[in-house]
Amino acid sequence: MLSGKLLIIFARNPVPGRVKTRLAAITGNETALKVYQMLLEHTASVTKTTSAQRAVFYSDELPDEKCFLKNEGTLAFLQKGTDLGEKMLHAFETGFALGFRHILLIGTDCPDLQPELLEQAFKSLERHEAVLGPAKDGGFYLIGLNKSHPDVFLRRTWSHNQVLKKTVERLEENGVSPELLPELRDIDTFEDLQQSRLWPLSD
């Protein structure tokens, strides 16, 4: 914790039928799982050189040592909460309770995320109270905070094209003007996959 920086990664346990369900509706569960495994590998590679402590918050169970980032000096936790907002808030509050001062949270859905962007986000937190990485679908692929803001996460709906806009509004209502990073594409649907650098899939 020497740097005071924590990178939280939200990850689903890679189980067929439990990951990339919107994609699986078109491609089938096995292809969706393959895509998710590719995204996990990309996320592991991108975050490997970060100057921050890494912490993975798994969706269902703490995996064995061979699973995603489990045996690479990362902290491991289970996500807790009834919806995405509660789960993100719990993760941030866990990080702040451990004494970290600058915390980023990302998922595992963004094939265009690069190490330089993560470092840019941490630098933003040295100047701003919050940073957001806008996704092309109207959500965000990254959120960073220097202190807990429960109002940003609680009593709201998720998975719609106004998530980023509403998040900015919630932050501004708390007196925080977030810095915005470059816009990137998440992979949630078959259309997202076709427009990503992962397409066409290799055998």
What average pLDDT values come out for the chain (203 residues) when binned by 10 residues? 86 90 92 93 92 93 71 85 96 97 96 96 97 95 97 92 96 96 93 90 71
Every domain of the chain and the residues it spans:
5-194
Cα–Cα distance for residue pair 141/201, rounded to 1 Å: 22
Q: Of 3, 2, 4, whose CA–CA distance to 95 is shortest?
A: 4
Q: Which residues share a beta bridge with 111?
A: none
Class of CATH domain 5-194: alpha beta
Predicted pLDDT of residue 138: 94
Give the start-end residues of each E strand in 5-122: 5-11, 53-58, 75-78, 102-106
How does DSSP assign 148-167, residue by residue?
--HHHHSS---SSTTHHHHH
pTM of the predicted model over 0.85 = yes
Q: What are the two backbone dihedrals, phi and then psi, of residue 7, each rounded to the nearest 5 degrees?
A: -110, 110
For residue 46, what pLDDT is reported?
Answer: 94
Task: Determine the pLDDT at residue 168.
Answer: 97
